[in-house]
Amino acid sequence: MKMDNIIIMARYTVTQNYEIQESQGTCDRGKFSVASPLSSYGEEIKKMDETNNSLRRMVYAAMFGALTAIGSLIVIPLQPLPITLQTLFTGLAGVLLGGATGALSQIVYVLLGVIGLPVFAGGKAGLGTLMGPTGGYLIGFIIGAYVIGKLVEARKEPGLVWLGFSLVVGNLVIYALGVAQLSFVAHLSVAKALMVGVVPFIIGDLLKLVATVLISLKLRNIIKR
The mean pLDDT value for 30-40 works out to: 54
Residue 109 · residue 69 · CB < 8 Å: yes
Rounded Cα distance between 92 and 175, Å, is 17
Judged by average pLDDT, the poorest of 40-49, 50-59, 194-203, 206-215 is 40-49
Confidence of residue 24 (pLDDT cuts 50, 70, 90): low
Rounded Cα distance between 217 and 96, Å, is 9
Domains and CATH numbers, the chain: 53-219 (1.10.1760.20)
Rounded Cα distance between 32 and 204, Å, is 68
| pLDDT at residue 182 tops 60 | yes
Residue 151 · residue 165 · CB < 8 Å: yes
**Segment 131-141, tens digit of pLDDT:** 999 999 999 99
